[in-house]
Amino acid sequence: MKRKIAIIGGGIVGASAAYYLSQLPGGDQLSVTLYDDGVGQATKAAAGIISPWLSKRRNQQWYQLAKDGATTLMTLARKANLSTDIYHQTGTIVTRTNEKDLKDLYELAQTRRHEAPDMGEVELLTAQEVQKRLPLLTNPQPGIFVSGGARIDGEAFISELLTQAQRVNLTVKQERVTLDATGNILASAGTQRFDNVILAAGAWLKDLIEPLGLTADVRPQKGQLIELIVPDYPTQENMPVLMPEGERDFIPFGHGKLIVGATHDDEGQFDLNITQEATDDLLKSAQHFDQSLTRDHLVQSKVGTRAYTPDFSPFFGRLTSHPHLLVASGLGASGLTTGPLIGRLLAGTLLYGGTPDWSNYEKNLSHYIH
Protein backbone atom coordinates (compact mmCIF):
# COMPACT_ATOMS: atom_id res chain seq x y z
CA MET A 1 0.00 0.00 0.00
CA LYS A 2 1.28 3.45 -0.89
CA ARG A 3 2.12 5.92 1.87
CA LYS A 4 -0.34 8.80 1.99
CA ILE A 5 1.32 12.22 2.10
CA ALA A 6 -0.36 15.62 2.34
CA ILE A 7 1.03 19.09 1.74
CA ILE A 8 -0.80 22.15 3.02
CA GLY A 9 0.30 25.14 0.97
CA GLY A 10 1.18 25.22 -2.71
CA GLY A 11 3.67 28.07 -2.67
CA ILE A 12 7.40 27.82 -3.23
CA VAL A 13 8.05 25.27 -0.43
CA GLY A 14 4.94 23.16 -0.97
CA ALA A 15 5.30 23.00 -4.75
CA SER A 16 9.01 22.20 -4.50
CA ALA A 17 8.37 19.46 -1.94
CA ALA A 18 5.66 17.99 -4.19
CA TYR A 19 8.02 18.04 -7.16
CA TYR A 20 10.84 16.30 -5.27
CA LEU A 21 8.43 13.73 -3.80
CA SER A 22 7.61 12.80 -7.39
CA GLN A 23 11.24 12.72 -8.56
CA LEU A 24 13.32 11.27 -5.72
CA PRO A 25 13.80 7.48 -5.55
CA GLY A 26 10.83 5.96 -3.74
CA GLY A 27 8.38 8.57 -4.93
CA ASP A 28 6.44 5.95 -6.87
CA GLN A 29 5.45 4.43 -3.51
CA LEU A 30 3.71 7.63 -2.41
CA SER A 31 0.27 9.10 -2.94
CA VAL A 32 0.56 12.88 -2.45
CA THR A 33 -2.29 15.35 -1.98
CA LEU A 34 -1.69 19.10 -1.95
CA TYR A 35 -4.26 21.53 -0.49
CA ASP A 36 -4.19 25.25 -1.32
CA ASP A 37 -6.88 27.78 -2.18
CA GLY A 38 -4.21 30.13 -3.57
CA VAL A 39 -5.56 33.21 -1.80
CA GLY A 40 -2.78 35.61 -0.83
CA GLN A 41 -0.01 33.18 -1.70
CA ALA A 42 3.29 35.05 -1.90
CA THR A 43 4.80 32.96 -4.70
CA LYS A 44 1.88 33.48 -7.11
CA ALA A 45 2.43 37.23 -6.81
CA ALA A 46 6.21 37.07 -7.00
CA ALA A 47 8.91 37.54 -9.58
CA GLY A 48 12.41 37.82 -8.29
CA ILE A 49 16.15 37.74 -8.53
CA ILE A 50 18.28 34.74 -7.55
CA SER A 51 21.58 36.29 -6.51
CA PRO A 52 22.36 35.92 -2.78
CA TRP A 53 26.15 36.07 -2.96
CA LEU A 54 26.66 39.80 -2.37
CA SER A 55 24.29 40.03 0.58
CA LYS A 56 25.82 41.62 3.68
CA ARG A 57 23.43 39.96 6.10
CA ARG A 58 25.43 38.80 9.13
CA ASN A 59 23.36 35.64 9.56
CA GLN A 60 25.70 32.99 8.16
CA GLN A 61 23.10 30.24 8.45
CA TRP A 62 20.81 32.23 6.16
CA TYR A 63 23.66 32.86 3.73
CA GLN A 64 24.53 29.17 3.52
CA LEU A 65 20.87 28.32 2.91
CA ALA A 66 20.52 31.01 0.24
CA LYS A 67 23.83 30.11 -1.43
CA ASP A 68 22.94 26.43 -1.61
CA GLY A 69 19.40 27.38 -2.59
CA ALA A 70 20.70 29.20 -5.66
CA THR A 71 22.66 26.07 -6.61
CA THR A 72 19.58 23.91 -6.07
CA LEU A 73 17.58 26.13 -8.42
CA MET A 74 20.21 25.88 -11.16
CA THR A 75 20.10 22.08 -10.96
CA LEU A 76 16.32 21.92 -10.73
CA ALA A 77 15.89 24.20 -13.76
CA ARG A 78 17.98 21.84 -15.89
CA LYS A 79 16.36 18.66 -14.58
CA ALA A 80 12.82 20.00 -14.95
CA ASN A 81 13.68 21.54 -18.34
CA LEU A 82 12.26 24.93 -17.32
CA SER A 83 11.84 27.46 -20.10
CA THR A 84 13.72 30.75 -19.96
CA ASP A 85 10.38 32.51 -19.42
CA ILE A 86 10.26 30.75 -16.03
CA TYR A 87 13.92 30.73 -14.95
CA HIS A 88 16.78 32.33 -16.81
CA GLN A 89 20.40 32.77 -15.77
CA THR A 90 20.82 36.26 -17.21
CA GLY A 91 23.27 37.50 -14.59
CA THR A 92 22.64 40.27 -12.07
CA ILE A 93 23.97 43.78 -11.66
CA VAL A 94 24.21 45.24 -8.15
CA THR A 95 24.74 49.00 -8.19
CA ARG A 96 26.44 51.43 -5.82
CA THR A 97 26.79 55.21 -6.20
CA ASN A 98 29.70 55.59 -3.77
CA GLU A 99 33.06 54.60 -5.26
CA LYS A 100 34.38 53.10 -2.01
CA ASP A 101 31.19 51.09 -1.47
CA LEU A 102 31.48 49.76 -5.01
CA LYS A 103 35.11 48.75 -4.45
CA ASP A 104 34.23 47.05 -1.15
CA LEU A 105 31.41 45.16 -2.85
CA TYR A 106 33.73 44.02 -5.62
CA GLU A 107 36.25 42.74 -3.05
CA LEU A 108 33.45 40.88 -1.25
CA ALA A 109 32.42 39.30 -4.55
CA GLN A 110 35.96 38.16 -5.26
CA THR A 111 36.20 36.60 -1.79
CA ARG A 112 32.92 34.75 -2.03
CA ARG A 113 33.65 33.39 -5.49
CA HIS A 114 36.12 30.95 -3.95
CA GLU A 115 33.43 29.26 -1.85
CA ALA A 116 30.57 29.75 -4.32
CA PRO A 117 31.70 28.78 -7.83
CA ASP A 118 28.10 29.02 -9.06
CA MET A 119 28.45 32.80 -8.84
CA GLY A 120 30.22 32.57 -12.16
CA GLU A 121 32.18 35.53 -13.46
CA VAL A 122 32.37 38.82 -11.56
CA GLU A 123 32.95 42.14 -13.34
CA LEU A 124 33.25 45.73 -12.20
CA LEU A 125 31.17 47.92 -14.55
CA THR A 126 31.06 51.66 -15.17
CA ALA A 127 27.69 53.36 -15.54
CA GLN A 128 28.16 53.35 -19.32
CA GLU A 129 28.91 49.61 -19.31
CA VAL A 130 25.81 48.99 -17.21
CA GLN A 131 23.70 50.92 -19.71
CA LYS A 132 25.18 48.92 -22.60
CA ARG A 133 23.95 45.70 -20.98
CA LEU A 134 20.65 47.27 -19.93
CA PRO A 135 19.70 49.70 -22.72
CA LEU A 136 16.36 50.34 -21.00
CA LEU A 137 18.18 52.56 -18.52
CA THR A 138 18.33 56.33 -19.00
CA ASN A 139 20.06 56.94 -15.67
CA PRO A 140 22.52 54.07 -15.13
CA GLN A 141 24.82 53.67 -12.13
CA PRO A 142 28.11 51.76 -11.80
CA GLY A 143 27.83 48.24 -10.44
CA ILE A 144 29.03 44.68 -10.09
CA PHE A 145 27.96 42.05 -12.63
CA VAL A 146 27.58 38.47 -11.40
CA SER A 147 27.02 36.04 -14.27
CA GLY A 148 25.49 33.28 -12.14
CA GLY A 149 22.53 35.42 -11.11
CA ALA A 150 19.08 34.63 -12.47
CA ARG A 151 15.49 35.82 -12.67
CA ILE A 152 12.45 33.71 -11.89
CA ASP A 153 8.69 33.97 -12.40
CA GLY A 154 7.25 32.60 -9.17
CA GLU A 155 3.75 31.77 -10.41
CA ALA A 156 4.98 30.06 -13.58
CA PHE A 157 7.64 28.17 -11.58
CA ILE A 158 5.25 26.55 -9.12
CA SER A 159 2.71 25.86 -11.86
CA GLU A 160 5.29 23.90 -13.86
CA LEU A 161 6.54 21.95 -10.83
CA LEU A 162 3.01 20.95 -9.84
CA THR A 163 2.16 19.97 -13.41
CA GLN A 164 5.16 17.65 -13.56
CA ALA A 165 4.39 16.14 -10.14
CA GLN A 166 0.77 15.53 -11.13
CA ARG A 167 2.00 13.24 -13.90
CA VAL A 168 3.53 10.98 -11.24
CA ASN A 169 1.86 10.89 -7.84
CA LEU A 170 0.28 14.27 -6.98
CA THR A 171 -3.36 15.33 -6.63
CA VAL A 172 -4.08 19.05 -6.14
CA LYS A 173 -7.18 20.18 -4.25
CA GLN A 174 -8.01 23.88 -4.40
CA GLU A 175 -9.37 24.43 -0.92
CA ARG A 176 -8.32 25.75 2.46
CA VAL A 177 -8.09 23.11 5.17
CA THR A 178 -7.42 23.05 8.91
CA LEU A 179 -6.01 20.57 11.43
CA ASP A 180 -7.58 18.86 14.41
CA ALA A 181 -5.83 18.41 17.75
CA THR A 182 -4.02 15.26 16.59
CA GLY A 183 -2.84 16.61 13.26
CA ASN A 184 -5.48 15.11 11.00
CA ILE A 185 -6.68 17.31 8.14
CA LEU A 186 -10.21 18.70 8.23
CA ALA A 187 -11.26 19.15 4.60
CA SER A 188 -14.54 19.61 2.72
CA ALA A 189 -14.75 15.82 2.41
CA GLY A 190 -14.41 15.38 6.19
CA THR A 191 -11.48 14.23 8.34
CA GLN A 192 -8.55 13.04 6.24
CA ARG A 193 -5.76 10.94 7.73
CA PHE A 194 -2.28 10.87 6.24
CA ASP A 195 0.96 9.15 7.18
CA ASN A 196 2.84 12.44 6.96
CA VAL A 197 1.88 16.07 6.40
CA ILE A 198 4.07 18.97 5.29
CA LEU A 199 2.77 22.28 6.65
CA ALA A 200 3.96 24.91 4.17
CA ALA A 201 1.29 27.53 4.78
CA GLY A 202 3.61 30.53 5.05
CA ALA A 203 2.14 33.37 7.12
CA TRP A 204 -0.93 31.22 7.85
CA LEU A 205 1.09 28.61 9.77
CA LYS A 206 0.33 30.25 13.11
CA ASP A 207 -3.43 29.69 12.74
CA LEU A 208 -2.91 26.25 11.21
CA ILE A 209 -1.05 24.77 14.19
CA GLU A 210 -3.14 26.43 16.91
CA PRO A 211 -5.36 23.32 17.33
CA LEU A 212 -2.19 21.36 18.17
CA GLY A 213 -1.58 23.59 21.18
CA LEU A 214 1.33 25.24 19.39
CA THR A 215 2.14 28.77 18.28
CA ALA A 216 4.59 29.95 15.63
CA ASP A 217 6.58 33.18 15.72
CA VAL A 218 5.62 34.28 12.22
CA ARG A 219 4.04 37.52 11.08
CA PRO A 220 2.49 38.50 7.74
CA GLN A 221 3.89 41.18 5.46
CA LYS A 222 2.14 42.54 2.40
CA GLY A 223 4.14 42.81 -0.82
CA GLN A 224 3.12 44.46 -4.09
CA LEU A 225 4.88 44.59 -7.46
CA ILE A 226 4.03 46.07 -10.84
CA GLU A 227 4.41 44.92 -14.43
CA LEU A 228 5.22 47.50 -17.10
CA ILE A 229 5.38 47.29 -20.87
CA VAL A 230 8.64 48.61 -22.33
CA PRO A 231 10.32 48.59 -25.75
CA ASP A 232 11.17 45.04 -26.83
CA TYR A 233 14.90 45.24 -27.41
CA PRO A 234 16.37 42.33 -29.43
CA THR A 235 18.58 41.46 -26.46
CA GLN A 236 15.95 41.93 -23.75
CA GLU A 237 15.37 38.24 -23.05
CA ASN A 238 19.02 37.99 -22.01
CA MET A 239 19.34 41.32 -20.20
CA PRO A 240 20.70 41.05 -16.66
CA VAL A 241 18.43 41.94 -13.78
CA LEU A 242 19.19 45.00 -11.70
CA MET A 243 19.46 45.21 -7.90
CA PRO A 244 19.82 48.98 -7.45
CA GLU A 245 21.01 50.57 -4.25
CA GLY A 246 18.10 51.85 -2.18
CA GLU A 247 15.47 51.12 -4.84
CA ARG A 248 13.15 48.32 -5.96
CA ASP A 249 14.45 45.45 -8.08
CA PHE A 250 14.32 46.09 -11.84
CA ILE A 251 13.64 42.84 -13.72
CA PRO A 252 13.37 42.71 -17.54
CA PHE A 253 11.65 39.51 -18.67
CA GLY A 254 11.84 39.86 -22.42
CA HIS A 255 9.05 40.47 -24.94
CA GLY A 256 8.63 44.01 -23.59
CA LYS A 257 7.86 42.89 -20.02
CA LEU A 258 9.43 44.66 -17.02
CA ILE A 259 8.77 43.76 -13.37
CA VAL A 260 9.51 46.27 -10.59
CA GLY A 261 9.22 45.44 -6.92
CA ALA A 262 8.36 44.50 -4.45
CA THR A 263 7.17 46.62 -1.53
CA HIS A 264 7.46 45.63 2.14
CA ASP A 265 4.30 46.67 4.02
CA ASP A 266 4.21 45.40 7.61
CA GLU A 267 0.97 47.20 8.38
CA GLY A 268 -0.79 45.68 5.35
CA GLN A 269 -0.39 42.12 6.71
CA PHE A 270 -3.06 39.95 4.97
CA ASP A 271 -4.64 42.80 3.00
CA LEU A 272 -4.65 41.87 -0.70
CA ASN A 273 -5.93 45.15 -2.07
CA ILE A 274 -3.74 46.92 -4.62
CA THR A 275 -2.99 50.40 -3.33
CA GLN A 276 -2.27 53.55 -5.30
CA GLU A 277 0.43 54.49 -2.79
CA ALA A 278 2.40 51.31 -3.45
CA THR A 279 1.90 51.60 -7.20
CA ASP A 280 3.22 55.18 -7.14
CA ASP A 281 6.18 54.12 -5.03
CA LEU A 282 7.13 51.34 -7.44
CA LEU A 283 6.69 53.49 -10.54
CA LYS A 284 8.76 56.29 -9.01
CA SER A 285 11.53 53.81 -8.23
CA ALA A 286 11.48 52.55 -11.82
CA GLN A 287 11.63 56.12 -13.12
CA HIS A 288 14.92 56.68 -11.29
CA PHE A 289 16.48 54.39 -13.88
CA ASP A 290 14.20 54.80 -16.88
CA GLN A 291 12.82 58.34 -17.08
CA SER A 292 10.61 57.47 -20.04
CA LEU A 293 8.30 55.28 -17.93
CA THR A 294 4.83 56.63 -17.13
CA ARG A 295 1.58 55.31 -15.73
CA ASP A 296 0.55 54.51 -19.31
CA HIS A 297 3.17 51.73 -19.29
CA LEU A 298 1.50 49.98 -16.34
CA VAL A 299 0.08 46.55 -17.25
CA GLN A 300 -0.89 45.08 -13.87
CA SER A 301 -0.12 44.91 -10.16
CA LYS A 302 0.12 41.82 -7.96
CA VAL A 303 -0.15 41.44 -4.19
CA GLY A 304 0.86 38.58 -1.90
CA THR A 305 1.59 37.88 1.76
CA ARG A 306 5.06 36.91 2.97
CA ALA A 307 5.91 35.26 6.28
CA TYR A 308 8.62 36.68 8.54
CA THR A 309 10.13 35.60 11.85
CA PRO A 310 11.44 38.04 14.49
CA ASP A 311 15.05 37.42 13.37
CA PHE A 312 14.14 37.35 9.63
CA SER A 313 15.31 33.72 9.35
CA PRO A 314 13.37 30.81 7.87
CA PHE A 315 12.77 27.61 9.80
CA PHE A 316 11.84 24.09 8.77
CA GLY A 317 11.85 20.54 10.13
CA ARG A 318 9.87 17.87 11.96
CA LEU A 319 7.66 18.75 14.93
CA THR A 320 8.90 16.80 17.92
CA SER A 321 5.46 16.90 19.54
CA HIS A 322 3.81 15.54 16.37
CA PRO A 323 6.50 13.58 14.46
CA HIS A 324 4.30 12.92 11.43
CA LEU A 325 4.13 16.68 10.78
CA LEU A 326 6.87 18.68 9.05
CA VAL A 327 6.79 22.48 8.92
CA ALA A 328 8.39 25.37 7.08
CA SER A 329 7.81 29.12 7.23
CA GLY A 330 9.45 32.52 7.68
CA LEU A 331 11.14 32.69 4.29
CA GLY A 332 10.43 36.41 3.88
CA ALA A 333 11.63 38.09 0.71
CA SER A 334 14.18 35.37 -0.06
CA GLY A 335 11.62 32.62 -0.56
CA LEU A 336 12.23 32.17 -4.27
CA THR A 337 15.90 31.49 -3.48
CA THR A 338 15.59 29.34 -0.35
CA GLY A 339 12.19 27.65 -0.89
CA PRO A 340 13.20 24.98 -3.43
CA LEU A 341 16.07 23.77 -1.23
CA ILE A 342 13.82 23.66 1.85
CA GLY A 343 11.25 21.71 -0.16
CA ARG A 344 13.90 19.23 -1.26
CA LEU A 345 15.21 18.74 2.30
CA LEU A 346 11.71 18.15 3.67
CA ALA A 347 10.89 15.72 0.86
CA GLY A 348 14.10 13.82 1.49
CA THR A 349 13.61 13.41 5.22
CA LEU A 350 9.96 12.43 4.67
CA LEU A 351 10.97 9.72 2.20
CA TYR A 352 14.02 8.38 3.96
CA GLY A 353 13.48 9.24 7.63
CA GLY A 354 16.26 9.97 10.06
CA THR A 355 17.08 13.16 11.92
CA PRO A 356 19.27 15.19 9.55
CA ASP A 357 21.44 17.94 10.95
CA TRP A 358 20.41 21.24 9.36
CA SER A 359 22.17 23.44 11.90
CA ASN A 360 24.30 24.99 9.15
CA TYR A 361 21.06 26.40 7.70
CA GLU A 362 18.84 27.28 10.66
CA LYS A 363 18.34 27.55 14.40
CA ASN A 364 16.45 24.85 16.26
CA LEU A 365 12.69 24.81 15.66
CA SER A 366 12.14 25.60 19.33
CA HIS A 367 13.25 29.18 18.59
CA TYR A 368 10.12 29.68 16.49
CA ILE A 369 7.50 27.11 17.56
CA HIS A 370 6.35 26.82 21.16
Query: How confident is the model over 139-164, as pLDDT tens digits?
Result: 999 999 999 999 999 999 999 999 99
SS3 content of the chain, % helix, strand, coil (to 5): 35, 25, 40
Q: Is the pLDDT of residue 7 over 80?
A: yes
Question: Global pTM?
Answer: 0.96
pLDDT at 160: 98
Is the predicted pLDDT of residue 236 greater than 80, yes or no? Answer: no
* Range of weakest confidence among 180-184, 236-240, 302-306, 328-332: 236-240
Q: CA distances (Å), 143 to each of 50, 65, 96, 127, in order?
A: 17, 25, 6, 7
Region of poorest pLDDT, from 92-101, 246-255, 266-275, 331-340:
246-255
pLDDT at residue 237, as a whole number: 77
- Where are the alpha helices (H) located in the chain, listed in sequence order? 12-23, 60-79, 99-113, 127-133, 154-166, 205-208, 276-287, 335-352
Instruction: Label the pairing between strands 257-261 and 219-229.
Output: antiparallel
The CATH architecture assigned to 79-150+220-308 reads 2-Layer Sandwich (3.30)
Higher pLDDT, 254 or 120: 120
pLDDT at 291: 93
8 A C-beta contact, residue 223 and residue 269: no
Please report which confidence band the pLDDT of residue 354 belongs to, taking 50, 70 and 90 as the band edges. Answer: confident
* 209: amino acid identity, one letter: I
Q: Residue 5 above 90 pLDDT?
A: yes
- DSSP H/E element including 85: none
If we measure between CA atoms, which residue out of 363, 357, 344, 313 comes closest to residue 12?
344
Q: How confident is the model at residue 323 (pLDDT cuts 50, 70, 90)?
A: very high
CA 307 to chain centre: 11
Q: Are the beta carbons of 166 and 157 closer than 8 angstroms? A: no
Residues 6 or more apart in contact with residue 241 via CB below 8 angstroms: 49, 51, 90, 91, 92, 93, 149, 150, 151, 249, 250, 251, 252
- Residues 49, 89 contacting (CB under 8 angstroms): no
User: What are the residue boundaries of the structural domains of the chain, listed by start?
Assistant: 3-44+155-218+311-367, 79-150+220-308
| Model pLDDT for residues 71-116, shown as the tens digit of each residue | 999 999 999 999 999 999 999 999 999 999 999 999 999 999 989 9
Neighbours of 340 (CB within 10 A): 29
Encode pLDDT of 292-301 as tens digits.
999 999 999 9
Q: Average pLDDT, stretch 203-217?
A: 97
Rounded to the nearest angstrom, the gap between the alpha carbon of residue 292 and the centroid of all alpha carbons in its chain is: 30
Task: Tell the CATH topology of 3-44+155-218+311-367.
Answer: FAD/NAD(P)-binding domain (3.50.50)
Q: What is the mean pLDDT of the chain?
A: 95
pLDDT of residue 254: 83
- Confidence bin at 56 (pLDDT 50/70/90): confident
**Straight-line distance from the first to the last Cα atom of the chain, in angstroms, rounded to the nearest whole number:** 35
